[in-house]
C-alpha cells in the first residue's frame, strides 16, 4: 500500500513538474522563406537566443526557414491572424496594405545603403514601423537586403533598350509591376518558390533580386545574365503579431524590442559578408555581370512615382527621405 501511495505521489509530482516546466516556457514560431544560414534566418535566430537568455527561458523561438510554413503572402496572413507569432519578410508584399512601405520600395529613392540605413534607423523608419500597427502587426526590426537587380536567361542587359519585351517575375507588389512596365518589359508577380522552374521552362526570362537570393535560390543556374541596375534598396521587415506582443508584460516588450535591435547589427554584418560570398559563387558558376547605364533606368521611373506617390503623406515622406544626408 505504502509503495503504491509513494508511487502515485511520485507520478503526481513528476507530472506537476512537467506541467510547470511547460507552462514556464512559451515557444513562439517565426517564418522565413530563405534557407538555414541565410543572414535573415540567422538574424532572427540570434533574436531568439537573446529573448531566451534575457527572459531566463520563459520565451523561446522556433525558426521555420526554407518556406516550410508557406510563401510570403501566406505567412503574412498567418502572422496577422496569429497562427504564427513572428515573420521575416520583404516589405514589398505589404505595399498594398501598409501604404508607408511604398516609400522604401520606390526605385532609386535611396542613394546608397548608407542612406537607407540613416533613413530606416531614424524618424522615417519609426513612422514606417508605426504604420504596421493597424494591420495587426508590430514591426520589430528592418534587416538589410542590399539592392535588387534584374537577371535573365536571354541576353546581357547594358541599357534600358535591352529590357524591351523581356518577361520578368517580380515580387508581389504593384510598384514592381509598374517599374518593369516603365522599362518596356513585362512583369509577372509570382511566389518566390516558383521562380526557378518558371525560368527553366521559359514561362519567364528572368527575375530581380540581390546576390544572396540569386545565389541561394540557385536562379543563377537558369538565368546567367545579371545586370547591376540596382533599382531598389528595399529592406526586409521582422514583424510580430500585435495581439501576441500586447500580451507581453511591459518589461518583456522592452526585452523583445532591444533583442530585435541587437539582431539588426548582427544581421547587417552577416549580410555584408554574404553579398561578397554570393557574388563570388555566382561568378565562379558562370554568371555574366554587366553594369548597365543606370541613368537610363533612373529616368524611366517617373511614371512609377506619378502613379504611386499621390497622397500628401507619401509625398512628404519622399521629400523627407531625399533630405536625409
Ligand atoms: C528576397 C527577400 C525575400 C523574398 C524574395 C522574393 O530578397 O529576402 O524575403 O521577398 O526576395 O523576391 O520573393
- Cα–Cα–Cα angle for 280, 185, 167, rounded to 5 degrees: 65
- Ligand 1: which of 91, 209, 238, 274 to mutate, judged by most atoms within 8 Å of the beta carbon? 209
Q: Which three cell numbers stand for residue 191?
A: 511566389
pLDDT at 306: 98
Question: What is the 29 CA–ligand 1 centroid distance (Å)?
Answer: 19
Going along 128-210, which residue ranges are E strands?
Answer: 137-143, 148-152, 167-170, 186-189, 206-209
pLDDT at 14: 44
pTM (2 d.p.) = 0.93
User: Closest Cα to atom 10, ligand 1: which residue?
Assistant: 90
Q: Is 192 in the pocket of ligand 1 (CB under 6 A)?
A: yes
Single out the residue of 85, 78, 40, 39 nearest to residue 62, CA to CA.
85
Q: Is 71 in the pocket of ligand 1 (CB under 6 A)?
A: no
Helices assigned H by DSSP within the chain? 2-24, 39-54, 72-81, 102-105, 113-120, 123-130, 174-182, 195-200, 211-216, 242-246, 250-284, 294-299, 302-308, 312-323
Question: What is the 231 CA–ligand 1 centroid distance (Å)?
Answer: 14
| Region class of 175: left (phi > 0), else alpha (psi between -120 and 50), else beta | alpha
* Residues 143 and 235 sit within 8 Å (Cβ to Cβ): yes
For residue 170, give the ligand 1 atom closest to its CA: 12
User: Closest Cα to atom 4, ligand 1: which residue?
Assistant: 90
pLDDT at 185: 98
- Cα–Cα–Cα angle for 35, 42, 216, rounded to 5 degrees: 30
Q: Is 195 in the pocket of ligand 1 (CB under 6 A)?
A: no
Q: Which long-range contacts (CB under 8 A, 24 or more apart) does 177-181 make?
A: 178/303, 178/304, 178/307, 178/308, 179/107, 179/231, 179/301, 179/304
Q: Which helix (H) or strand (E) holds 89?
A: strand 86-90
Question: What is the 150 CA–ligand 1 centroid distance (Å)?
Answer: 13
* Residues 79 and 31 sit within 8 Å (Cβ to Cβ): yes
Q: Is 225 in the pocket of ligand 1 (CB under 6 A)?
A: no
> What is the spatial distance between Cα 250 and Cα 107, in angstroms, rounded to a whole number?
38
Q: Is 32 in the pocket of ligand 1 (CB under 6 A)?
A: no
Q: Over its length of 325 residues, how does the chain's per-residue pLDDT go in tens digits? A: 445 444 444 444 444 444 444 446 999 999 999 999 999 999 999 999 999 999 999 999 999 999 999 999 999 999 999 999 999 999 999 999 999 999 999 999 999 999 999 999 999 999 999 999 999 999 999 999 999 999 999 999 999 999 999 999 999 999 999 999 999 999 999 999 999 999 999 999 999 999 999 999 999 999 999 999 999 999 999 999 999 999 999 999 999 999 999 999 999 999 999 999 999 999 999 999 999 999 999 999 999 999 999 999 999 999 999 999 9
User: Closest Cα to atom 5, ligand 1: which residue?
Assistant: 192
Q: Is 171 in the pocket of ligand 1 (CB under 6 A)?
A: yes
pLDDT at 24: 61
Q: Is 101 in the pocket of ligand 1 (CB under 6 A)?
A: no
Query: Is the sign of the CA dihedral 260, 144, 151, 96 positive or negative?
Result: positive
Q: Which three cell numbers stand for residue 206?
A: 528572368
- Ligand 1: which of 35, 74, 192 to mutate, judged by most atoms within 8 Å of the beta carbon? 192
Amino acid at each position: 500500500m505504502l509503495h503504491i501511495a509513494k508511487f502515485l505521489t511520485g507520478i503526481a509530482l513528476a507530472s506537476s513538474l512537467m506541467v510547470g516546466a511547460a507552462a514556464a516556457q512559451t515557444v513562439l514560431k517565426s517564418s522565413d522563406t530563405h534557407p538555414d544560414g541565410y543572414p535573415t534566418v540567422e538574424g532572427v535566430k540570434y533574436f531568439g537566443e537573446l529573448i531566451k537568455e534575457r527572459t531566463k527561458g520563459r520565451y523561446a523561438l522556433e525558426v521555420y526557414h526554407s518556406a516550410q510554413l508557406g510563401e510570403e503572402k501566406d505567412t503574412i496572413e498567418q502572422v496577422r491572424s496569429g497562427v504564427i507569432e513572428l515573420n521575416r519578410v520583404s516589405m514589398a508584399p505589404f505595399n498594398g496594405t501598409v501604404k508607408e512601405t511604398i516609400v522604401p520600395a520606390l526605385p532609386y529613392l535611396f542613394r546608397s545603403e548608407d542612406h537607407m540605413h540613416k533613413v530606416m534607423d531614424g524618424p522615417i523608419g519609426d513612422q514606417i514601423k508605426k504604420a504596421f500597427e493597424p494591420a495587426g502587426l508590430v514591426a520589430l526590426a528592418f534587416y538589410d537586403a542590399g539592392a535588387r537587380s534584374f537577371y535573365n536567361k536571354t541576353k546581357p542587359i547594358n541599357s534600358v533598350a535591352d529590357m524591351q519585351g523581356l518577361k520578368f517575375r517580380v515580387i508581389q507588389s504593384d510598384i514592381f509591376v509598374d517599374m518593369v512596365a516603365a522599362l518596356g518589359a513585362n512583369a509577372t508577380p509570382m511566389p518566390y518558390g516558383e521562380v526557378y522552374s518558371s525560368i527553366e521552362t521559359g514561362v519567364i526570362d528572368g527575375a530581380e533580386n540581390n546576390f544572396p537570393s540569386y545565389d541561394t535560390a540557385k536562379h543563377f543556374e537558369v538565368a546567367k545574365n545579371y545586370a547591376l541596375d540596382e533599382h531598389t534598396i528595399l529592406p526586409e521587415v521582422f514583424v510580430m503579431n500585435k495581439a501576441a506582443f500586447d500580451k507581453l508584460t511591459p518589461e518583456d516588450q522592452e526585452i523583445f524590442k532591444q533583442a530585435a535591435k541587437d539582431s539588426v547589427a548582427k544581421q547587417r554584418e552577416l549580410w555584408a559578408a554574404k553579398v561578397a560570398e554570393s557574388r563570388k559563387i555566382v561568378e565562379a558558376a558562370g554568371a555574366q555581370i554587366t553594369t548597365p547605364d543606370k541613368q537610363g533606368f533612373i529616368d524611366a521611373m517617373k511614371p512609377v512615382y506619378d502613379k504611386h506617390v499621390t497622397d500628401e503623406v507619401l509625398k512628404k515622406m519622399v521629400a523627407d527621405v531625399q533630405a536625409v544626408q
